[in-house]
């Protein structure tokens, strides 16, 4: 008999409290069930609508951002094969092939936040423009770049609370469209991110305290402003759907690369997770498209495992832990170099949408993030930020831990591994300044020397290394 939910939870909870890297997998029913999708608050039509909105705005985006000229205003990242990284990680070809979705190179925002953040500002812009009669349905969207439209937008403020990257995305697109933009930053936000925003005329408000405090402060400020619009990272459907639209682009890229996804060709996707909106939207979109053949895992820092804790807490399954829980409730610090993931409490919207769809969640130590950041640099020549390296621990834990092996066996996936695709989503890095990146790299090269370094002695399966 499989261990009960409570027994598994108490084991994983010990590892979580001790900030030990751990893999939690869903036991029992198959991860992707049609009923979970049917019960979800969004449909494929909603995801398609977000995708269509990006397409409608592309002529204007191409005009506003010179870096989008070549792509005719399309903000997308490549799907890359990562054979050298696969080798550097010591993942045998018999376990499938490693690819990466290069959102670290997404133009305009330099991170995955380009998807959700830009989508939400475009949705607000479109609604406002229709209300104010700046455009009629079907008009040339470039009308919104005229001085008349910009003068109208200048009366409005767009604000957001952020650990950094969401602020970069919202601030840059809002100010480019002519809005006043304010970004409320937590104390862990990087200096260069604040400087980059200020250089674009965005007001940066600094808060002593964490991400939750910055969001709350932003929300309060905008409530007092009749012409204010607040992008609410903890509750926003528009952000979620902007992320989900990535699934449609990925489906085409997989087909172009000749990658089949079906029962004999499973797709494993490893998604760095903060509040859960970005990975949740993408996991949701992929589940709509690939059903039970896609297996999504979220990746979190050992000190900020808010989504994993939310999954384990369920409807109150953890004695003494409130619902919805915060990582502080179990004695963790929420201190991590992965600033994009430094979030103490998961988004309830994301939890409701994908809590039943996820295959699992795992945690990663900061040292491992730096090691994989350096390994990716040395093997593939790609530059990512620490948060974006969290995906690479996925195959390592899934294939190399007892929990991972048990889950693969239970799901009858072991025979299909040689034809599997492992996709690590690299979520940010394009705009990291060179000196900052060199510090990351120096720190990581010390850890990268040992590719097989076990991250969790208690759960790793050693026979592969024998």
Ligand X SMILES: *Cc1c(COP(=O)(O)O)cnc(C)c1O
- Told to check if 391 binds ligand X by CB under 6 A, we report no
Q: How far is the CB of 130 from ligand X (least distance, A)?
A: 28
- Told to check if 278 binds ligand X by CB under 6 A, we report yes
Name the one range near ligand X by CB under 6 A: 58-66, 288-296, 317-325, 381-389.
381-389
- Told to check if 272 binds ligand X by CB under 6 A, we report yes
Residue 245 CA to residue 251 CA, distance in Å, equals 10
- Binding mask 403-442 toward ligand X (x if CB under 6 A, else -) reads ------------------------xx--------------
Q: How far is the CB of 429 from ligand X (least distance, A)?
A: 7
- Told to check if 9 binds ligand X by CB under 6 A, we report no
Name the one range near ligand X by CB under 6 A: 105-113, 124-132, 356-364, 434-442.
105-113
Host H or E run for residue 272: strand 267-272
Q: Is the peptide bond before 318 cis (omega within 30 degrees of 0)?
A: no
- Told to check if 168 binds ligand X by CB under 6 A, we report no
Q: Are 421 and 96 in contact (CB under 8 A)?
A: yes
Q: Which is nearer to ligand X, 95 or 287 (CB)?
A: 287
Which position among 96, 167, 340, 391 is part of the footprint of ligand X (CB under 6 A)? 340
Which position among 73, 178, 277, 285 is part of the footprint of ligand X (CB under 6 A)? 277
Q: How far is the CB of 369 from ligand X (least distance, A)?
A: 11
If you write DSSP's letter for every residue of 32-100 in order, what string do you get?
S-HHHHHHSS--HHHHHHHHHHHHHHHHHHHHH-GGGTTTTT-----EEE-HHHHHHTT--GGG-EEEE
Which position among 12, 157, 238, 387 is part of the footprint of ligand X (CB under 6 A)? 387
- Told to check if 186 binds ligand X by CB under 6 A, we report no
Name the one range near ligand X by CB under 6 A: 15-23, 107-115, 138-146, 193-201.
107-115
Quote the tokens at residue 362: 């795992």
Q: Pick the closest to residue 289 from 40, 37, 75 (CA basis).
A: 37
Q: Which is nearer to ligand X, 113 or 207 (CB)?
A: 113
Residue 316 CA to residue 68 CA, distance in Å, equals 47
Q: Which is nearer to ligand X, 153 or 230 (CB)?
A: 230
* SS3 call for 183: strand
Q: How far is the CB of 386 from ligand X (least distance, A)?
A: 9
Q: Pick the closest to residue 3 from 414, 455, 402 (CA basis).
A: 402
Name the one range near ligand X by CB under 6 A: 212-220, 335-343, 361-369, 433-441.
335-343
Number of amino acids touching ligand X (CB under 6 A): 20
Q: How far is the CB of 241 from ligand X (least distance, A)?
A: 13
Residue 340 CA to residue 276 CA, distance in Å, equals 11
CB-CB neighbours of 133 under 10 Å: 8
Residue 112 CA to residue 22 CA, distance in Å, equals 25
Residue 383 CA to residue 277 CA, distance in Å, equals 24
- Rounded to 10°, the helix 5-17/306-313 angle is 150
Beta bridge partners of 204: 183
Which position among 165, 186, 238, 421 is part of the footprint of ligand X (CB under 6 A)? 165
- Told to check if 111 binds ligand X by CB under 6 A, we report yes
- Told to check if 112 binds ligand X by CB under 6 A, we report yes
What is each CA distance from 62 to 70, 172, 178, in whole angstroms?
A: 8, 14, 16
**Nearest residue to the partner ligand X, using Cβ:** 274
Give the binding site for ligand X (CB under 6 A): 111-113, 165, 272-279, 340-341, 343, 385, 387-388, 427-428
């Amino acid at each position: 008999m499989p261990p009960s939910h409570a027994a598994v939870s108490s084991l994983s909870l010990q590892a979580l409290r001790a900030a030990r890297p751990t893999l939690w997998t869903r036991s029992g029913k198959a991860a992707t069930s049609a009923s979970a999708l049917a019960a979800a608050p969004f449909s494929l039509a909603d995801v398609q609508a977000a995708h269509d909105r990006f397409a409608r705005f592309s002529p204007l985006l191409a005009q506003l951002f010179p870096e989008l000229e070549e792509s005719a205003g399309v903000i997308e990242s490549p799907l890359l094969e990562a054979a050298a990284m696969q080798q550097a990680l010591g993942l045998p070809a018999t376990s499938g092939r490693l690819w990466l979705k290069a959102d670290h190179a997404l133009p305009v925002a330099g991170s995955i936040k380009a998807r959700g953040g830009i989508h939400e500002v475009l949705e607000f812009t479109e609604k406002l423009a229709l209300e104010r009669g700046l455009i009629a349905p079907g008009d040339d969207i470039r009308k919104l770049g005229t001085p008349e439209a910009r003068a109208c937008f200048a009366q409005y403020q767009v604000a957001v609370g952020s650990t950094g990257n969401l602020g970069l995305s919202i601030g840059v697109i809002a100010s480019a469209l002519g809005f006043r933009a304010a970004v409320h930053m937590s104390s862990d936000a990087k200096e260069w991110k604040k400087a980059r925003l200020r250089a674009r005329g965005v007001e940066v408000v600094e808060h002593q305290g964490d991400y939750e405090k910055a969001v709350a402060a932003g929300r309060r400020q905008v409530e007092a402003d009749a012409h204010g619009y607040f992008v609410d990272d903890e509750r926003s459907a528009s952000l979620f759907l902007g992320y989900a639209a990535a699934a449609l682009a990925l489906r085409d890229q997989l087909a172009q690369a000749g990658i089949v996804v079906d029962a004999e060709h499973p797709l494993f996707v490893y998604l760095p997770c903060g509040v859960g909106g970005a990975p949740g939207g993408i996991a949701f979109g992929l589940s709509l498209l690939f059903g039970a053949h896609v297996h999504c895992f979220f990746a979190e820092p050992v000190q900020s495992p808010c989504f994993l804790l939310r999954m384990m807490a369920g409807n109150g399954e953890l004695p003494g832990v409130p619902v919805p829980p915060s990582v502080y409730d179990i004695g963790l610090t929420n201190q991590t170099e992965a600033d994009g993931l430094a979030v103490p409490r998961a988004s309830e919207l994301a939890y409701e949408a994908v809590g039943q769809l996820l295959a699992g969640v795992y945690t990663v130590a900061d040292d491992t993030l730096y090691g994989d950041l350096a390994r990716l640099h040395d093997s593939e020549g790609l530059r990512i930020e620490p948060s974006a390296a969290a995906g690479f621990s996925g195959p390592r834990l899934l294939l190399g831990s007892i929990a991972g092996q048990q889950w693969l066996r239970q799901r009858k996936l072991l025979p299909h591994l040689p034809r599997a695709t492992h996709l690590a989503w690299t979520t940010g890095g394009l705009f990291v300044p060179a000196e900052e990146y060199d510090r990351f790299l120096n720190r990581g090269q010390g850890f990268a020397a040992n590719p097989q370094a076990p991250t969790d002695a208690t759960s790793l399966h050693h026979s592969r290394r024998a």
